[in-house]
Structure 1
Amino acid sequence: MSERTSVHTKQSSPAELGSRPIGRLLMQYSLPAIIASLATSLYNIVDSIFIGRGVGAMAIAGLAITFPLMNLIVAFCVLIAVGGATVSSIFLGQKNIGKATDVVNNVILFCLVHAIVIGSITLIWLDPILYFFGATDETIIHAREFMRVIALGTPVSYVFIGLNNLMRATGYPRKAMISALLSVAVNVVAAPLFIFVFGWGIAGAAWATILGQFSAFIWVLAHFLSKKSFVHFDPHRSFCSVSLLKRMYSIGMSPFL
């Protein structure tokens, strides 16, 4: 056994997925995901309270208008994030660590490409899109102010979501949960500060969201830059694989739709 393989065996790794009881693995991987989802849902409620009390009822209406657009933006990220996580799991099941590493490199690249394209389209046609989703002359002011910040932050959001899915798929469900909780915690602290203290209005809530995601982005990026991680970033591996992109698209298309 090579030195690299022996080191990885001692560490937390996806190798346990092929040997441990399924029920135990289900609890180990699902509970952190459930906790992270609950925390995110609770944050959305708290964030709405901050906006309602700090900006006003019309701002809540403007925020509601942005939900379909934000879901659409996230969908293009899921296309790569879920597809990449699944493909990496397949390669790890085949014990092909090199190909799983290629997935990390390609997820980072294609998340950035998607973010730049989708973020630019959103910023260029923001008003027509918001009017299409039901904005009025009164609500579009708040919706526009919020979505401009969110659109500018798409590169951070996309890479965070993409790498967070990969982190869970490569054997680190608890670390993936921590990254989601970190994002929520920073959000909850920053939102009232930006809204009430700095007086940034609904844009302050958006900046708090991006700041929270940036904190989690640093967390997941540090994980994949560390050679102690079972699968980690390798600048010498493939960065732009058309075959990998096709596989990620084909698998990610279902959750995308």
Structure 2
Amino acid sequence: MANVSSQDLGYEPIGKLLIKQAVPASIGILVMSLNILVDTIFVGNWIGSTAIAAINVVLPVSFFIAALGMAIGVGGSSIISRALGANQNAKACKTFGNQITLTILFTIVFVIFGLLFVDTLVPAFGGKGVIFEPAKTYYTIVLYGVPVLALCMMGNTVIRAIGKPKFAMYAMMFPSVGNLLLDVLFINILDLGMAGAAWATTGSYILCFLFILWFFLSEHSELKINSKHLGLDLPIIKEIGALGFVTLSRQAIVSVTYLLMNNILFDLGGETSVTAYAIVGRMLMFALFPIYGITQGFLPIAGYNYGAEKYKRVKEVIYTAIRYAALLATVIFVFLMIFPETITKVFTQDAQVIKETPSAMRWVFAATPIIALQLIGAAYFQAVGKAIPALLLTLTRQGLFFIPLILILPKFYGELGVWIAFPISDVLSTIVTFFFLKREVKLKLETA
């Protein structure tokens, strides 16, 4: 798993390069997902199934604020990759400085807002009944650490953009392992309950931040933290904003989806259905880790070569990434169709949850083999700096299809309507992405 420099992104064979980028990204995502998965198992077995639902309620709020860091990171990293490809190192450094400033400013404002309206936001996101108190406890503590998480998310994408995928992987592994150790200490040994789970999570954010800070202060990074680059530059802010808005919109839609799903499922099936969704949601994060890894590995390669005007390589990495991701997605699909009951029992021994979750899991993952095209297609437009189509494709699945479906289908099919909305929206959004991507390849990449 050799490391990659930014210059190698324009010369190494695409298949080999994609593996070098995707494998560390996949391992990092796997470890992070395992952390979330094991964390959920610990919480479910040491605190109770209601605690799983409580954490799921809090996720949309913390995800959205952390997504500010991810949005600024992805938007700026697209600029950095293309700038390095065009030998514009000064622009890359200035962009990085602006990313740091923007991340700190935005996340602190949102954390203050989130703490002021805690009693309104928690119930709004599904923290009702017996779920409210544990959700409020978890939410309040985790929110303190979200600015640190946002800086971690931003920094991780930049590390990958400059061709250091192994360090990006390490940045995801350290806090994941730390979180599990802190879980054992705070929940099992000190018996701090939901507060212990929250402090373990917040502590893991700090570990990640310390590693990323070390990286950018070390000789391993082409980009350095420099006070002269922290001053905001309007053209760079606009470009970061246009591209970052794509990621932020995606995460905002995810948060809205969690809000709607938690409330709809609570009304249809109470705490049991919310817990079932929490378990399925964890599997969505965990099971698809190699697909997300390939997507993350694809971004800097496509961005660098597009900036260097090596369009043949851009076309090659699109097709290669889709093939690799589709193959892995099919393997994941088969596994989840066969073992949903076994997976559910790992999380909880609650008989009602075990009865309901496997069917939901099968429906949610029913269209998994085709999602590679949708993910890579949307990522391409973001990587090459085309904000409008990237935004449209990002919003297509959940904004255009999924949210309307979960509002309409339950009126006719009850809780089943919620679960079948997943594969229907996957199929429809993949069709739309195929049309946009095919048109882009033909008009831009092949013509050039």
Could you state the TM-score of these two structures normalised by the residue count of structure 2?
0.53
Question: In the comparison of the two structures, how many residue pairs are matched?
Answer: 247
Shift of 1:150: 1.5
Match for residue 116 of structure 1?
108
Q: Contact 1:120 / 1:151 at 8 angstroms: preserved in 2? A: no
The equivalent of 2:22 in structure 1 is 30
Q: Distance in 2 between matches of 1:81 and 1:251?
A: 10
Shift of 1:174: 0.5
The answer for the alignment partner of 1:43 in structure 2 is 35
2:98 aligned with 1:106, yes or no?
yes
Q: CA deviation at 1:116?
A: 0.1
2:168 aligned residue: 176
In the alignment, which residue of structure 2 is the partner of 1:188? 180
Give me the whole-angstrom Cα distance separating, in 2, the residues matched to 1:90 and 1:239.
21
Deviation at 1:242, TM superposition (A): 2.0
Quote the residue 2:132 is aligned against: 140
Superposed displacement of residue 227, structure 1: 4.4
Residue 84 of structure 1 pairs with residue 76 of structure 2: yes
Q: Residue 245 of structure 1 aligns with which residue?
A: 237
CA distance in 1, matches of 2:227, 2:56: 41
Alignment partner, residue 3 of structure 1: none
Question: What is the letter of the counterpart of residue 65 of structure 2?
Answer: I
Identify the residue that residue 205 of structure 2 maps to in structure 1.
213
Does the Cα contact within 8 Å between 2:144 and 2:202 map onto a contact in 1?
no
1:41-77 superposed Cα distances (whole Å, 9 cap, x missing partner)? 2211211121122222322221121122233223322
Contact residue 71 and residue 154 of structure 2 kept, 8 A: no
User: For 1:89-142, what per-residue CA distance to the aligned partner results, in whole angstroms no more than 9, with x for missing partners?
Assistant: 111111111111112211111111121011111111122111111221421111
The 8 Å contact of residues 62 and 140 in structure 1, kept in 2 or not, is answered as yes
Partner residue of 2:85 out of 81, 90, 93? 93
Separation (CA, whole Å) in 1 of partners of 2:167 and 2:20 = 12
Q: Does the C-alpha gap of structure 1 residues 115 and 233 become closer, same or farther in structure 2, counting only changes over 3 Å?
A: same
Letter in 1 for 2:33: S
Rounded Cα–Cα distance in structure 2 between residues aligned with 1:67 and 1:120: 17
- Runs of 4 or more above 4 Å deviation: none
Shift of 1:185: 0.7
Match of 1:56 in 2: 48
Alpha-carbon separation, structure 1, partners of 2:224 and 2:247? 25
The alpha carbon displacement at 1:27 in A equals: 0.8
Distance 2:153 2:220 in 1: 21
Q: Distance in 2 between matches of 1:77 and 1:104?
A: 12
Question: 1:20 is aligned with what amino acid?
Answer: E
1:203 matched to 2:188? The reply is no
How far apart are residue 18 of structure 1 and its match?
A: 1.5
Bigger Cα displacement from structure 2, 32-41 vs 226-235:
226-235
State the alpha-carbon separation in 1 of the partners of residues 179 and 228 from structure 2.
Answer: 36
**1:212-238 Cα deviation digits (max 9, x unpaired):** 121121111111122452222222335
Matched residue type, 2:43: I
Task: Tell me if the contact between 1:54 and 1:195 (Cα under 8 Å) persists in the aligned partners.
Answer: yes
Structure 1 or 2, whichever has the larger Rg, is 2
- The answer to which structure, 1 or 2, has the higher relative contact order (CA under 8 A, 6+ apart) is 1
Cα distance in 1 for partners of 2:219, 2:44 equals: 45
Which of residues 119, 122, 127 in structure 1 aligns to 2:119? Answer: 127
Match in the other structure for 1:6: none
Q: State TM-score, norm by structure 1.
A: 0.90
SS in 2 for 1:153: helix
Taking the aligned partners of 2:219 and 2:51, their CA distance within structure 1 comes to: 45
Rounded Cα–Cα distance in structure 1 between residues aligned with 2:215 and 2:53: 38
